[in-house]
């Protein structure tokens, strides 16, 4: 066997190996780039939800300032619409579990304590609580009765979320969504 033939055989063995290493490196780079993009997209989703939340909270403040009971009711409907969107974004993986867990614990606290009280000099005092508004929305079938979001929110309102309960809720609502 000649020296040139051995070198040629060696190169023929090395090239596929280098190609495989290059393919693995490209796959790894693509994987990490995709993860970074997904993280950035989740971050943008969370910021968009927070932006909507801030806007809705301004509506709450305006309803109190203007002594507008109708606007107070509308505030809660908008808030529940946001919660519905967050629920579905969470199911799609756009909102991480740890963020949803924190938001659900706030919702439980809101369910137990949040209330809008409007006092005006010309009319009687008006009160509406998060809990009353939720029951009104649920009873009026604002959301479809079989929408898994309803059972999800009922569970969130009744218990403090931890990682295990959150995972069980996600699994349960995935079964209901099939």
Q: How many CB atoms lie within 10 A of CB 97?
A: 14
Task: Please check the confidence at residue 4 and state whether its pLDDT lies above 70.
Answer: no
- Residue 159 confidence (pLDDT): 77
* Token pair belonging to 95: 């909102």
- Return d(Cα 90, Cα 149) in angstroms, integer: 11
Phi and psi, residue 126, nearest 5°: -120, 135
Task: Please check the confidence at residue 34 and state whether its pLDDT lies above 50.
Answer: no
Strands (E), the chain: 115-118, 126-129
- Residue 8 confidence (pLDDT): 56
Confidence band of 15 (pLDDT split at 50, 70, 90): low
- At residue 118, the 3 state secondary structure works out as strand
Q: How large is the average pLDDT for residues 47-58?
A: 86
- Return d(Cα 106, Cα 123) in angstroms, integer: 32
The reply to whether the predicted model has a pTM over 0.85 is no
- Residue 133 confidence (pLDDT): 94
Instruction: Give the CA radius of gyration of the chain.
Output: 27
Task: Please check the confidence at residue 94 and state whether its pLDDT lies above 80.
Answer: yes
- Residue 29 confidence (pLDDT): 47
Q: Is 134:69 a contact under the CB 8 Å cutoff? A: no
Task: Please check the confidence at residue 98 and state whether its pLDDT lies above 50.
Answer: yes
* Token pair belonging to 15: 């090239």
Q: Is 95:115 a contact under the CB 8 Å cutoff? A: no
Terminal-to-terminal C-alpha distance of the chain: 66
* Token pair belonging to 22: 């290059």
Q: Which residues of 43-58 are buried (b: 16+ CB within 10 A; e: fewer)?
A: eebbeebeebbeebee
- At residue 159, the 3 state secondary structure works out as coil
Task: Please check the confidence at residue 82 and state whether its pLDDT lies above 90.
Answer: yes
129-148: pLDDT as tens digits? 999 999 999 999 999 888 88
- Residue 13 confidence (pLDDT): 54
**Phi-psi group of 110: left, alpha or beta (phi > 0 → left; psi -120 to 50 → alpha; rest → beta):** alpha
């Amino acid at each position: 066997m000649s020296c040139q033939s051995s070198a040629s055989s060696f190169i023929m063995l090395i090239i596929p190996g280098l190609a495989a290493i290059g393919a693995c490196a490209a796959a790894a780079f693509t994987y990490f780039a995709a993860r970074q993009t997904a993280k950035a997209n989740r971050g943008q989703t969370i910021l968009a939800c927070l932006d909507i939340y801030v806007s809705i909270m301004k509506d709450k403040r305006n309803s109190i300032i203007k002594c507008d009971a109708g606007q107070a009711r509308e505030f809660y409907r908008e808030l529940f619409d946001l919660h519905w969107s967050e629920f579905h974004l969470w199911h799609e993986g756009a909102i991480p579990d740890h963020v949803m867990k924190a938001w659900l614990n706030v919702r439980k606290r809101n369910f137990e304590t949040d209330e809008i009280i409007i006092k005006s000099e010309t009319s009687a005092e008006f009160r509406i609580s998060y809990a009353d508004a939720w029951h009104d929305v649920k009873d009026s079938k604002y959301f479809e009765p079989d929408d898994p979001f309803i059972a999800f929110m009922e569970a969130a309102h009744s218990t403090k979320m931890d990682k295990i309960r959150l995972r069980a809720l996600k699994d349960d609502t995935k079964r209901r969504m099939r």
